[in-house]
Amino acid sequence: MSEHGHDGHHTIFGFDRYSFNFWVLMIFTAIEVVAVALTFSMKGTVSMSTVVFILVAVGIVKGVGIAAIFMHLQGDEDSRVLTATALFPVFFIVVMVLFIGLTHPDAADTLPAWCRPGFYT
């Protein structure tokens, strides 16, 4: 999907990659705002589990876009080295989350009230 433009810069679908990524991020941010607004301002329109799914899916897409374009993990000459460097801590984060979750699965139930949204009882 990415090819070189006339001036040597990478383009996506013929657009400058930074501008394209900016507008994709703006559109997905609007989707997030609408999903949350449908839950809180129009109660019952969208279930909380649907909103969480939408937010996580949109967050993954936005994260990949930010990492690929703004962090130069895609399309640059040294992108493989940068990608490996950026993903190295992910292993430790996953291990940490798994071990905390597996050794103390009720940890989220004991969070103070200020850490939880008001709709949890």
Tell whether 103 is covered by a domain: no
For residues 29 and 76, which has the higher predicted lDDT (pLDDT)?
A: 29
pTM over 0.85: no
Helix (H, G, I), strand (E, B) or coil at 8: coil
67: number of Cβ within 10 Å: 16
Tell whether 14 is covered by a domain: yes
Cα-based angle 91, 96, 99 (whole degrees, multiple of 5): 120
Structure confidence at residue 28 (pLDDT) = 92
For residues 81 and 55, which has the higher predicted lDDT (pLDDT)?
A: 55
Greatest mean pLDDT among 8-12, 58-62, 89-93, 116-120 lies in: 58-62
Tell whether 7 is covered by a domain: yes
Tell whether 22 is covered by a domain: yes
Helix (H, G, I), strand (E, B) or coil at 9: coil
Tell whether 113 is covered by a domain: no
Tell whether 78 is covered by a domain: yes
Its domain, for residue 68, covers 2-87
Does position 92 have pLDDT exceeding 60, yes or no?
Answer: yes
The structural domain count of the chain equals: 1
Tell whether 33 is covered by a domain: yes
